[in-house]
């Protein structure tokens, strides 16, 4: 199989055959917990091994992060922003090799890998500007010669738990904002994509060393769910930002809540596009196609359901069948391919199980799925994107399957379509395709989409850095990235200043002295 420059990319990023998975910054710690292999779903080969974080190393990381916070929070925010600006420049320098590693270790297309690194660069740019805008409010006091205002202070140590599908961008969304806010970060990456974390730490280390950033501002711990549990339970970690499954999020949220800590949860999605009878069907098909098969259906914003008006249902179905017949499935580093592999054989098993359940519940296949075998598919992780006709209430439709399976659902009225859209436990991303303004407004109104993201005439997949990203219901309620998402990484404080010569007491109480 063609190498596509993987060896060169690994070398540029400092990835070795055996790597420490625990870091306080410049220092990589040795542990006694063994190691895990990083296996590429592209070809089934072991890329490298990563040493797991043991209890002793974990405690050292937390202690170093606490120490670093005391120093880092005193650095003026614009100067912290300058460091992040340089991180953005470094990411531009390493964009191609890091994008290639993301593609090879995770399985998404090389174009998407480059796009993910670009998201990192974009959030750096956003954070730099933010470093001069960490503003509070001023309020009028009811007492004479008093002034009230509120301000935001650095929160502390932030734990970041990221998922395999965006192995670098989600960490950047959290860490870049946390750093300009004056926080320090401990990153627990997915055990399925550990080498991406090593590469990112190496890139950041270059910048931090040059700027004499305190050891412990950027830390990494590697391991399975048990390391995530330790992050969630540790009282020295002020905020835990966790991205992943609903099951994982509920466990993290419960543990953090028990110690009255803060949790930012970005969990599952069961996203739908409503295609109105007044929609531009060419745009609709394009949005549905990318949303359903991009990243092989392994985005939290992937399009799972297509809710189509009965008058255009058959036309949309036929256009989709034609579009799916033109998909090229194979090595994601080959830019001629549209769809790469699933992350591992467990994901393939989940995909096959979902297709079986569709048939068991009475659904019918529009585009049959299946696991691909033979030359180029030796890893066993390549599957065919599938389309099924279903009812919204089917049990399998109510759950998120991280695979390229698109469900078609027919509707009569927009109210019915919105009810279908909202009729699942997840509430991340949604979209309406229409050219009618009244339909747009209904979809975006109080009794419209109940998701954290509601789009018109674009798909469910993807999001711009400038907007807050996140969802409602079982998606967790968290918000990352743009808008005022920075506030979750800080603690709010209300201040009152009396610049008069007397002390008026609340409720008119008087003391005779």
d(CA 42, CA 376): 9
Burial of 136 (0-12, 13-18, 19+ CB in 10 A): middle
**Cα distances (angstroms) measured from residue 497 to each of 142, 154, 303, 313, 381:** 12, 22, 52, 64, 63
DSSP states of 211-225 as a string?
TTPPTTSEEE---SH
The catalytic residues are 266, 300
Whole-number pLDDT of residue 465: 93
β-bridge mates for residue 272, sequence order: 305, 430
CA proximity to 48, closest of 13, 14, 12, 17: 17
How does pLDDT run along the chain (513 residues), one tens digit per residue?
Answer: 467 899 999 999 999 999 999 999 999 999 999 999 999 999 999 999 999 999 999 999 999 999 999 999 999 999 999 999 999 999 999 999 999 999 999 999 999 999 999 999 999 999 999 999 999 999 999 999 999 999 999 999 999 999 999 999 999 999 999 999 999 999 999 999 999 999 999 999 999 999 999 999 999 999 999 999 999 999 999 999 999 999 999 999 999 999 999 999 999 999 999 999 999 999 999 999 999 999 999 999 999 999 999 999 999 999 999 999 999 999 999 999 999 999 999 999 999 999 999 999 999 999 999 999 999 999 999 999 999 999 999 999 999 999 999 999 999 999 999 999 999 999 999 999 999 999 999 999 999 999 999 999 999 997 899 999 999 999 999 999 999 999 999 999 999 999 999 988 777 677 776
Q: Where are the beta strands (DSSP E) in 155-234?
A: 157-161, 184-188, 218-220
Whole-number pLDDT of residue 469: 97
Output helix, strand, coil percentages for the chain, rounded to the nearest 5: 40, 20, 40
The residues, any chain, with a CB within 8 Å of residue 211's CB and separated by 6 or more, are: 82, 83, 86
Whole-number pLDDT of residue 462: 79
DSSP states of 485-507 as a string?
GGGGGEEEEEEEEE-SSS-PPGG
Whole-number pLDDT of residue 148: 97
Q: Where are the beta strands (DSSP E) in 200-289?
A: 218-220, 239-243, 262-266, 271-275
**Cα distances (angstroms) measured from residue 447 to each of 418, 444, 450:** 9, 8, 8
Angle between helical axes of 77-93 and 110-130 (0-180°, round to 10): 160
Whole-number pLDDT of residue 504: 82
Tokens of residue 459, six digits = 């798909």
Whole-number pLDDT of residue 507: 72
According to DSSP, residue 52 is labeled: P
34-44 pLDDT per residue, tens: 999 999 999 99
**Cα distances (angstroms) measured from residue 348 to each of 217, 297, 402, 453, 461:** 38, 12, 9, 28, 21
Whole-number pLDDT of residue 184: 98
d(CA 245, CA 29): 29
Whole-number pLDDT of residue 189: 98
Whole-number pLDDT of residue 505: 77
Query: What pTM did the predictor assign?
Result: 0.96
Tokens of residue 325, six digits = 């017949």
According to DSSP, residue 296 is labeled: G
């Amino acid at each position: 199989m063609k190498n596509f420059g993987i060896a060169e990319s690994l070398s540029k990023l400092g990835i070795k055959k055996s790597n420490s998975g625990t870091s306080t910054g410049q220092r990589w710690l040795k542990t006694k917990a063994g190691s895990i292999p990083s296996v590429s779903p592209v070809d089934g080969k072991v890329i490298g091994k990563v040493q797991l974080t043991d209890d002793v190393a974990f405690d050292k990381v937390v202690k170093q992060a606490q120490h670093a916070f005391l120093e880092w929070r005193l650095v003026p925010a614009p100067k912290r922003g300058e460091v992040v600006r340089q991180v953005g420049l470094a990411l531009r320098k390493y964009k191609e090799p890091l994008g290639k590693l993301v593609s090879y270790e995770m399985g998404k297309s090389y174009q998407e890998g480059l796009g993910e690194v670009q998201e990192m660069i974009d959030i750096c740019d956003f954070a730099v500007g933010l470093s001069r805008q960490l503003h509070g409010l001023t309020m009028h006091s009811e007492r004479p010669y008093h002034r009230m205002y509120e301000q935001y202070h650095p929160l502390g140590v932030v734990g970041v738990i990221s998922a395999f599908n965006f192995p670098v961008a989600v960490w950047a969304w959290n860490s870049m904002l946390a750093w300009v806010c004056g926080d320090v970060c401990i990153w627990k990456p997915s055990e399925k994509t550990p080498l991406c974390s090593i590469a990112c730490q190496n890139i950041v280390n270059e910048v931090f060393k040059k700027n004499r950033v305190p050891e412990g501002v950027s830390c990494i711990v590697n391991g399975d769910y048990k390391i995530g549990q330790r992050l969630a339970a540790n009282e020295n970690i002020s905020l835990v930002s966790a991205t992943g499954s609903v099951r994982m999020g509920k466990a993290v949220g419960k543990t953090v809540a028990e110690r009255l800590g803060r949790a930012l949860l970005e969990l599952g999605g069961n996203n739908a596009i409503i295609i109105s009878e007044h929609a531009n069907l060419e745009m609709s098909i394009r949005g549905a196609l990318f949303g359903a098969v991009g990243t092989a259906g392994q985005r939290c914003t992937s399009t799972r359901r297509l809710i189509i008006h009965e008058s255009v249902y058959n036309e949309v179905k036929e256009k989709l069948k034609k579009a799916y017949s033109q998909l090229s499935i194979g090595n994601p580093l080959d830019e001629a391919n549209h769809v790469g592999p699933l992350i591992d054989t467990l994901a393939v098993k989940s995909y096959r199980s979902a297709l079986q359940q569709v048939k068991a519940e009475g659904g019918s296949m529009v585009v049959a799925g299946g696991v691909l075998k033979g030359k180029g598919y030796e890893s066993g992780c390549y599957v065919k994107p599938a389309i099924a006709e279903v009812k919204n209430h089917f049990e399998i439709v109510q759950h998120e399957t991280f695979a390229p399976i698109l469900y078609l659902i027919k509707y009569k009225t927009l109210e019915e379509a919105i009810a279908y859209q909202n009729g699942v436990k997840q509430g991340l991303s949604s979209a309406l395709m229409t050219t009618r303004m009244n339909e747009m407004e209904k979809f975006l109104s109080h009794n419209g989409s109940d998701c954290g993201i509601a789009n018109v005439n674009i798909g469910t997949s993807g999001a711009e850095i400038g907007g807050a990203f996140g969802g409602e219901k079982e998606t967790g309620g968290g918000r990352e990235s743009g808008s005022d998402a920075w506030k979750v990484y800080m603690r709010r404080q209300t201040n009152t200043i009396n610049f008069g010569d007397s002390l008026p007491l609340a409720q008119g109480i008087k003391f005779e002295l």
